[in-house]
């Protein structure tokens, strides 16, 4: 007779391997950087590399809401493109029901886009 605890053994093994690997992926690069000397700071390494000029404020300052709106809209339309490609490939096999479902999805997406446009979410001042 198999005990209840033995049924959880694969799950526990999976969790143990996941914890070990995630710890290794975090700790090993830090150890390697200490050993190879790549963590020695100098002015060139600490300079601004993304925007090219020093930060105006504290890095924990709040962002404008418009930044988040643009980011959310980008994700929505990026996902829309990710749904369109497999749908177009499988259109022959899914028939009219699949076509109608995608058209409903595109109409809903268009309504959301028109709403965002009307509310001025795409405007940047």
54-100: per-residue pLDDT in tens? 666 666 777 677 777 778 888 888 888 888 888 888 888 888 998 89
- pLDDT computed for residue 66 by the predictor: 73
User: How far is C-alpha 62 from the chain's CA centre?
Assistant: 20
Q: Give the whole-angstrom CA distance, residue 120 versus residue 88.
A: 32
CA distance 65 to 43: 33
In this predicted structure, the answer to whether residue 50 has a pLDDT above a threshold of 80 is no
Q: Are 55 and 48 in contact (CB under 8 A)?
A: yes
- State residue 13's pLDDT score: 94
Tens digit of each residue's pLDDT (9 = 90 or more) over 102-123: 899 889 988 988 988 898 877 7
Q: How far apart are CA 90 and CA 85, in angstroms?
A: 9
Which residues lie below 8 Å from residue 29, measured CB to CB, with a gap of 6+? none
CATH of domain 4-119: 1.20.58
**CA 83 → CA 51, 74, 79, distances in Å?**
33, 14, 6
If you average pLDDT over residues 42-58, what whole number do you get? Answer: 67
Q: What is the pLDDT of residue 78?
A: 85
* pTM of the predicted structure, to 2 decimals: 0.45
Tell me: pLDDT of 1 over 60.
no
């Amino acid at each position: 007779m198999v005990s209840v605890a033995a049924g959880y053994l694969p799950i526990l093994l999976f969790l143990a391997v996941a914890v070990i690997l995630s710890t290794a992926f975090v700790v090993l690069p830090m150890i390697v950087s200490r050993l190879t000397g790549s963590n020695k700071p100098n002015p060139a390494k600490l300079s601004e590399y993304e925007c090219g000029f020093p930060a105006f404020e504290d890095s924990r300052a709040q962002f404008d809401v418009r930044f988040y709106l643009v980011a959310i809209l980008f994700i929505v339309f990026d996902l829309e493109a990710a749904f369109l490609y497999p749908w177009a490939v499988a259109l022959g096999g899914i028939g009219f029901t699949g076509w109608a479902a995608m058209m409903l999805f595109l109409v809903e997406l268009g309504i959301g886009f028109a709403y965002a446009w009307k509310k001025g979410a795409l405007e940047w001042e």
